[in-house]
Amino acid sequence: MGYRTLLRDHRGLLAITFLAMFTSSLGQSFFIGLFQAPISERLGLSAGQFGSAYALVTLVAGFAVLRLGPSIDWIAPRRFALIVLGALLTGILLLTLAPGWWLGLLGLGLVRLCGQGMMTHLGNTLAGREFTALRGRALGLTGIGLVLGETALPPLVAALLIWLGWRELWWLFALVLATLWLPLLMRGPWPKAPGIRPERGQQRSGPRPLRERRFWQLLPLLMVLPITMTGLFLYQAQMTEDLGSTLGIYALALTGMGLAKLPGALVGGRFVDRLGPVRLARLYLLPYALALTLAIAWGGHAGVWALMVGGGLAMGAQESIATSLLVRLWGAEHLGKVRATLSAAMVFSTGLAPAALGIALDLGADFRLILAGMLAFLIGGWLLAQGVLREVQTPR
């Protein structure tokens, strides 16, 4: 069964997961970063204070995902989506209308939690749990929702800011998303709650990934892309200077990265179904490894393009591979809890990694040396995960 048949037979459920991923764009760093200056001015914060506050609310959101994310294993998905969407819209109102900085930061925290955190969690968990033989393709189509947001929203924001203020633009996006969600919440093909909430004494019977060796062995492999790509995004000026390129080339390559995610998601999802997530987990980082090698050896414009396109291909394929691996290891009935643990770990690590890279740059490290460290991290994470991948080689 191909993508066309999947869309024909399950378009309602796929519309829900796709819209959840697209809605998550409002809480992603790429979108909030477009409004950093006016938000800082609104809250009365300097750029440095905003950065510190942003890191703090991100870490708090990570803890909240770890605590609240597993509830999707027993709360009806429609109710879960309604709560998350309501909290997201409340966060937007607080961020844009709050009279005090602390309420504004609360709004920013809700936008981060419900956007990047819970909406992404909703889309990927539903796609990973409700589809079996077609899980890879379903996750690939779901991931295109975020790809669309990353590709279309920045130029759309730039165009609309000619006529609208930043707050009016946030209200417009909130209104459009609420309008899109309304028919799905009323008549969408929502699945039933997958289970009942465990009693307090039964909490220990479920999986506890943070206490399992195989989770920690797999985690570095799945964190390579979010950690290293966050560093490339934040320190783009130092990267282009040390590689002998320009920020203009980087901006073009960033568009190339967004376009590369599309075939990465579609091809990755298809091959997850055909070859299984274990084989793909061993291969999907190869384009990024080659890109890092090329950037270290050659640098220049080609190096920047390689990093963005290679990273985009791998990032597009990662979610379908990662979620399918989690199902293989812990079962679909516990996917909400395990995905929440993985999401929280990624939030924490991506919050701390930029600080480590910043210290290295302050000490005078050339960016080629940092790229070499990223490549070593990739190889180390790949080697560490091989034991777990061998354990789950036989399909469940």
Long-range own/partner contacts, residues 340-343 (CB < 8 A, 24 or more apart) = 340/65, 340/66, 340/68, 340/69, 340/70, 340/72, 340/121, 341/66, 341/69, 341/209, 341/210, 341/215, 342/209, 342/219, 342/222, 343/62, 343/65, 343/66, 343/69, 343/117, 343/120, 343/121
Rounded average pLDDT over 355-367:
83
Please determine, for residue 18, whether its predicted confidence score (pLDDT) is greater than 90: yes
Rounded to 10 deg, the angle between the 286-297 and 367-391 helix axes is: 160
Topology agreement, domain 1-188 and domain 210-391? yes
The answer to whether the CB of 294 falls within 8 A of the CB of 302 is yes
Please determine, for residue 197, whether its predicted confidence score (pLDDT) is greater than 70: no
- Whole-angstrom Cα distance, residue 125 to residue 74? 12
CA 375 to chain centre: 21
199 falls in which pLDDT band (50, 70, 90)? low
pLDDT, tens only, 266-313: 888 888 888 888 888 999 999 999 999 999 999 899 999 999 999 999
- Whole-angstrom Cα distance, residue 170 to residue 160? 11
User: What is the pLDDT, as a whole number, of residue 206?
Assistant: 66
Is the C-alpha dihedral spanning 125, 129, 135, 137 positive or negative?
Answer: negative
User: What is the pLDDT, as a whole number, of residue 364?
Assistant: 87
pLDDT, tens only, 136-185: 888 888 988 988 888 888 888 888 988 989 999 999 999 999 999 999 99
Domain ranges of the chain: 1-188, 210-391
Rounded average pLDDT over 349-370:
80
Please determine, for residue 239, whether its predicted confidence score (pLDDT) is greater than 80: yes
198 falls in which pLDDT band (50, 70, 90)? low
CATH 3.20.20.70 for the 210-391 domain, yes or no: no
**Which among 125, 159, 156 is positioned nearest to 142, based on CA atoms?**
125
pLDDT, tens only, 51-76: 778 878 888 888 898 889 888 888 89
CA 293 to chain centre: 25
User: What is the pLDDT, as a whole number, of residue 396?
Assistant: 46
Please determine, for residue 204, whether its predicted confidence score (pLDDT) is greater than 60: no
Please determine, for residue 203, whether its predicted confidence score (pLDDT) is greater than 60: no
* pTM for the whole structure: 0.82
Percentage of the chain modeled with pLDDT above 90: 36
Rounded average pLDDT over 227-244:
85
Q: Which CATH architecture has domain 1-188?
A: Up-down Bundle (1.20)
Percentage of the chain modeled with pLDDT above 70: 94
Please determine, for residue 128, whether its predicted confidence score (pLDDT) is greater than 50: yes
- Whole-angstrom Cα distance, residue 345 to residue 65? 10
Q: How much is the mean pLDDT over the chain?
A: 86
Please determine, for residue 374, whether its predicted confidence score (pLDDT) is greater than 90: yes
User: What is the pLDDT, as a whole number, of residue 176?
Assistant: 96
Torsion-angle region of 44 (φ positive above 0: left; ψ -120 to 50: alpha; else: beta): left
Q: Which residues are CB-contacts of 278 (< 8 A; sequence separation ≥ 6)? A: 325, 328, 389, 392, 393
Is the C-alpha dihedral spanning 321, 326, 329, 335 positive or negative?
Answer: negative
Please determine, for residue 254, whether its predicted confidence score (pLDDT) is greater than 50: yes
Q: Which residue has the higher pLDDT, 258 or 216?
A: 216
The answer to whether the CB of 266 falls within 8 A of the CB of 127 is no
